Amino acid sequence: MSQRTERRGIHVDQSDLLCKKGCGYYGNAAWQGLCSKCWREEYQRVRQKQIQDDWALAEKLQREEEEAYASSHAVHSQSAPGHASLTPFSKFEEKKTNEKTRKVTTVKKFFSPSSRTASKKETQEGKTPSPSISRHASFDTDQVSKDFVEFLKNLYKPGREIHKQCRAFLVSMSNKKDLGADELSECVQDFYQSLADRLISHFKGSSESVEQVMDQVEKYIMTRLYKSVFCPETTDDEKKDLATQKRIRALHWVTIQMLCVSMDEEIPEVSENVVKAITDVIEMDSKRVPRDKLACITRCSKHIFSAIRITKNEPASADDFLPALIYIVLKANPPRLQSNIQYITRFCNPSRLMTGEDGYYFTNLCCAVAFIEKLDAQSLNLSPEEFERYMSGQASPRFSSSEGTWPDSSQGVGTAVTNPVLAQLNTNLELLSGLCSRQEAVMEAAKSLQSEFLSWTQSVQREVNDILEKYPLEIKSSKVSAIDANNVDNENLPSLIKPQVFAG
């Protein structure tokens, strides 16, 4: 009982977000907790070791085949000399090829435990885009190409060289469609690194100008490659997407209080920021450039920080942010979440993921998804039995429709956990009821004012009539006879007109 009275909540140490090798950059779960730089170094080391192992294996196979060939040379030379000289070598080549094929996935398995056995025919079903989508994608590609050329015009000679390098890289990538996702990522990252080195050394570019050029290069390259490298058939990204969506749907009953989120959605500004955060994280899937997808994550995170700040009336802390981000992801259930995370991880300019606010927010999103995958009863302050009943759908948290609340057994019988949807509905109903009362009061006041205006008009009319009866008006008109209008002088005209005399 004491375990449940103390809310555990969700907490992650900020040091857990950093690279496990202690370089100071942000790590990533897809890179075994390493940053982009350390991951590439480790990848290169393992790949180099694998190459050496493959050569050692090939030499061993060659020695074995040579020994077998030498021992059986006399027999084969007697039966069929010409044919015997070719048979051992062909068998050696076949065996060496089979062994190298068996070993070639070792590096991939070290970094990615996912299975790649799905056939192309199975994974290709349902992926053919509609003509309208294809036309839209083609228009975006053409527009990005034009923008890239316009940007490079300002760089003169370096611009022509950059454009040439990018086009050559795209041509080379068109011949590598059968490569796995890790190999494609390695090709793109190698191109980023080599081009950045050339910009720094050969073109003497400053860090800001190099970053601007690399942003445009990433936009151009990845827009052109998007269809072939996003959620490729050689990965299980789509399978992970479906599993994550199913997991989030199974957690639909999780409330904001269970996650200990410091956001009060009854405050209109907080509710508005929550809606914007959900919109931004959903919009991530519509972007094609890794940097644009990162921008959606950053905007979403800033809206979350604003909602927490408004609720607490003080700056939000990192401990407040992660539970709130988990809550937003659960409410949004973003489409193809795992595929988008993998796409950013594989093809984004690595400098953006290692440092800065983009890297920080992206690392937190990866942590949020990892927490959702392993969310348990203790992190929600529930008993294991309750958690299992909710997850299986056998039970749901009881709630009061009149108050929009759920009882919270962890806090005792008398307390309740607010259901944000029902609470907001009740708040809106109260506002409508108040508006109806105010409207009735305004209508009553308007009728009273109309009645007073009519009575005032009538009283004024009566007073005028009384005065006219008491003091009647007599109008005496003066007649001008025998006046020739042609002979009347304008100067004498006023003297001919006598004023009216009022009696009394």
SS3 readout for 233-295: CCCCHHHHHHHHHHHHHHCCCCCCCCCCCCCCCCCHHHHHHHHHHHHHHHHHHHCCCHHHHHH
Instruction: Return the higher-pLDDT residue of 283 and 467.
Output: 283
Alpha carbon distance 59, 163 (integer Å): 43
Local confidence band at 499 (pLDDT 50, 70, 90 cut-offs): very low
Instruction: Return the higher-pLDDT residue of 431 and 130.
Output: 431
Please, what's the b/e burial string for 419-442 (b: 16 or more CB within 10 A of its CB; e: otherwise)? bbebbbebeeeeeeeeeeeeeeee
Lowest pLDDT segment from 62-66, 199-203, 280-284, 485-489? 485-489
Residue 397 has pLDDT above 70, yes or no: no
SS3 502: strand
- Span 366-380, mean pLDDT? 91
**Cβ-defined contacts of 99-107 (< 8 Å, 24+):** 99/57, 99/58, 99/61, 100/54, 100/57, 100/58, 103/50, 103/53, 103/54, 103/57, 104/54, 106/50, 107/43, 107/46, 107/47, 107/50, 107/182
Instruction: Return the higher-pLDDT residue of 460 and 5.
Output: 460
Which residue is it, tokens 């058939």? Answer: 233
Residue 2 has pLDDT above 70, yes or no: no
Residue 28 has pLDDT above 60, yes or no: yes
- Span 486-499, mean pLDDT? 48
- Span 268-296, mean pLDDT? 96
Local confidence band at 56 (pLDDT 50, 70, 90 cut-offs): confident
Residue 278 has pLDDT above 90, yes or no: yes
- Span 130-147, mean pLDDT? 70
DSSP string spanning 171-187? HHHHT-TTS-HHHHHHH
Lowest pLDDT segment from 203-207, 214-218, 358-362? 203-207
What is the pLDDT at residue 11?
A: 62
Mean pLDDT of the chain, nearest integer: 76
What is the pLDDT at residue 355?
A: 77
What is the pLDDT at residue 199?
A: 87
25-39, 127-141, 331-345, 446-460: which is most confident? 331-345
- Distance from the Cα of residue 467 to its chain's centroid: 80
Question: Which tokens hold the place of 125?
Answer: 């079903």
Q: What are the pLDDT digits (tens) for 67-119? A: 777 777 655 555 555 444 444 445 545 555 555 444 444 444 444 444 434 44
Q: How far is CA 243 from CA 73, 246, 250, 333, in A?
A: 58, 5, 11, 12
| Residue from 427, 382, 381 nearest 404 by CA | 427
Question: Residue 26: left if φ>0, alpha if ψ -120 to 50, beta else—which one?
Answer: beta
What is the pLDDT at residue 238?
A: 93
Residue 427 has pLDDT above 70, yes or no: yes
What is the pLDDT at residue 274?
A: 96
CB 170 within 8 Å of CB 221: yes
What is the pLDDT at residue 171?
A: 94
What is the pLDDT at residue 501?
A: 44
What is the pLDDT at residue 48?
A: 63
What is the pLDDT at residue 117?
A: 40
- Sequence-distant (≥ 6) Cβ neighbours of residue 476 within 8 angstroms: 500, 501
| Residue from 417, 395, 420, 292 nearest 347 by CA | 292
What is the pLDDT at residue 94?
A: 55
What is the pLDDT at residue 394?
A: 76
Residue 280 has pLDDT above 80, yes or no: yes
Q: What are the pLDDT digits (tens) for 306-344? A: 999 999 999 888 889 999 999 999 999 999 999 999 999
Residue 265 has pLDDT above 60, yes or no: yes
Residue 8 has pLDDT above 60, yes or no: no
Residue 228 has pLDDT above 50, yes or no: yes
Local confidence band at 37 (pLDDT 50, 70, 90 cut-offs): low
What is the pLDDT at residue 341?
A: 95
Residue 229 has pLDDT above 50, yes or no: yes
- Share of residues in the chain with pLDDT > 70 (%): 64
What is the pLDDT at residue 318?
A: 84
Local confidence band at 34 (pLDDT 50, 70, 90 cut-offs): low
CB 339 within 8 Å of CB 244: no
Residue 502 pairs with which residues in a beta bridge? Answer: 475
Local confidence band at 413 (pLDDT 50, 70, 90 cut-offs): very low
Instruction: Return the higher-pLDDT residue of 409 and 428.
Output: 428
